[in-house]
Amino acid sequence: MENFISIVTLNDLKKHVTNNVLLQDYLVVIFEKNNYFFKENISYRADYLCVILVLDGFLAINVNGISMTLYKGNIVTTKLSEVFTINKVSDNYKAKCLYYSFDFAARAGFGYNSKDITKSLSKGAHEIILEQPALFERINSHLDMLQYMNNIDNKLYYSLEIIQNYFSLMIYEIGSFLIEKNSANVGISREEEIADLFLGLIRRHALEQHNVQYYADRLFISRKYLSRIVKKIILKSPKDIINNVLVLEAQMLLKCSNANINEITCHLNFTSQIVFNRFFKKKTGISPSEYRKVRISNKEDFVYIKSVNIESSSIM
């Protein structure tokens, strides 16, 4: 089996770095589809660790036999000796990647005997952090400094100490988040956690993403499993929740804005005005234009739907 797995090293990746590096056992690389090192449908085993920030697009990947899709805004930390296969790279894919050896981490104070927060550097499964924009921006900033400081042209007297400090900041940022996340999840079930994450994704993406499969992919579970959990915990199907958000947004725009029907159609990411009209009438009983006329002539809502308040919903 090992004969069918390509071993990739830090030296292999250095061929894609144009600047002369100060330290040889870590590098920061920005990959896009046109310069992506890894080829699709080939299995690799890495002899390094990695932190990946997905800046744009998506990457479909299989890690240790588990398929997943990484999207813009995801933070991924990989472990030593994981076997991975790239299934698909989107045309607009862009990621900032930190590749580093375990020896580099050990010299920065994160060896086998270090604190619990970093013992998992070389053990266990990879970690994927979803929907944490503030953390994402902080890690992105740390990687920028690590990239800058490892350029030999930017060498300073205390370059090594500065590099180790920024690396430590990044590791402690990620480690602290994971510890707090695990502590917060004590006492709630995995199903409740998934339902809560689903509602968070709905708050951010429902106007653009109407397909339940999108949310299942973002949570790395099947559509069937997501539907079963959401219906069990929230008592509505994922599709019903998405539709309710779309109807409420459409009603708000029809009541409170001067946007025409076509502009609202585009804002809600429907393929055509005909599709939007059909959807709205099915959910409310009247067409968008009729709803707007009723709202102009009446102070009170004429049409409403039973909706899920995703801003205040809580998982108890």
Annotated domain spans of the chain: 2-184, 190-297
pTM of the model as a whole: 0.61
Helix (H/G/I), strand (E/B), else coil: 249: helix
Could you read off the pLDDT of 264-304 as tens digits, one per residue? 999 899 999 999 999 999 988 999 998 888 765 554 443 43
Fold classified for 190-297? Arc Repressor Mutant, subunit A (1.10.10)
pLDDT at 2 over 80: no
Around 177, how many Cα atoms within 13 Å sit in the side-chain half-sphere?
20
- Can you name the residues that pair with 51 across neighbouring β-strands? 77, 98
> Does 157 or 2 have the greater pLDDT score?
157
177 contacts: CB under 8 Å, gap ≥ 6: 129, 132, 135
Q: Round the average pLDDT of the chain to a whole number and report it.
A: 81
Nearest Cα to Cα of residue 136 among 56, 205, 202, 216: 56
Average pLDDT over residues 153-170: 88
pLDDT of residue 120: 52
Could you read off the pLDDT of 46-73 as tens digits, one per residue? 888 899 999 999 999 887 667 788 999 9
pLDDT at 210 over 80: yes
Does the domain spanning 2-184 belong to CATH 2.60.120.280? yes
Tokens of 18: 């144009």
- Identify the residue whose tokens are 């690590």: 146
pLDDT of residue 310: 40
Tokens of 146: 């690590």
Please indicate whether the domains covering 2-184 and 190-297 agree at the CATH topology level.
no
- The alpha carbon of 40 is separated from its chain's Cα centroid by a whole number of angstroms, namely 21
Nearest Cα to Cα of residue 301 among 258, 235, 233, 252: 252
